[in-house]
Amino acid sequence: MNWKPDIKGLIEPFTALKYLFKRPATITYPDVKRETPAGYRGFHVNDQVKCIGCGICEDICMNVAIDMVTPEEIKNPKNTSGLIPRVDYGRCCWCSLCTDVCPTKSLKLTPEYVLVTEDPNDFLYTVPEPKGDIQ
Ligand code: SF4
Ligand code: SF4
């Protein structure tokens, strides 16, 4: 049998070495975070000082991702139901219908989208208060 070494096949793995000297094509997350575009639909926030507990956000959600829960404290005296929304991110598709129909505009989506956790129950949470101005 006439054996011929596969020179090309032997050299080819070393061509990967050239990438050691090239700039990476990816960003070094989490040191560098990509800016979200304007209007990005990330996690919800709810300004409880404005929320009237009407439950329209729950009614409109086609994914049944919102249920109304009792908060520790009612911050709006006009919240007659005594309830605020809780979102299940295992169901939410970020369609934003709930924020569109919110009569007080207390419920909004933010550019935040990263939630790393070992507990799946963390994806079901009472919508937090906004930390700053959300458009
Ligand atoms: S977030 Fe808006 S729609 Fe939902 S209960 Fe509060 S006021 Fe009503
Ligand atoms: S964004 Fe859409 S799917 Fe998510 S909670 Fe609101 S209405 Fe439901």
Q: Which two tokens stand for residue 44?
A: 């919800």
- Percent helix, strand and coil across the chain, each rounded to 5? 20, 15, 65
Q: Which tens digits make up the pLDDT trace of 54-80?
A: 999 999 999 999 999 999 999 999 999
CATH, domain range 34-126: 3.30.70.3270
Mean pLDDT of 94-112: 96
Q: Is residue 135 scored above 60 in pLDDT? A: no
Q: Pick the atom of ligand 1 nearest to 46's CA.
A: 1
Mean of all residue pLDDT scores within the chain: 91
* Residue 52 beta carbon below 6 angstroms from any ligand 2 atom: no
Tell me the whole-structure pTM to 2 decimals.
Answer: 0.80
Q: What residues contact residue 103 under an 8 Å CB cut-off, 6+ apart?
A: 52, 54, 56
**Cβ 94 under 6 angstroms from ligand 2:** yes
Atom of ligand 1 nearest to the CA of 104: 7
Domain boundaries, the chain: 34-126
- Which one of the ligands is nearest to 87 CA? 2
d(CA 57, CA 101): 7
Cβ atoms of residues 39 and 30 within 8 Å:
no
88, 91, 95: residue to mutate for ligand 2 pocket, most atoms within 8 A of CB: 95
Confidence band of 47 (pLDDT split at 50, 70, 90): very high
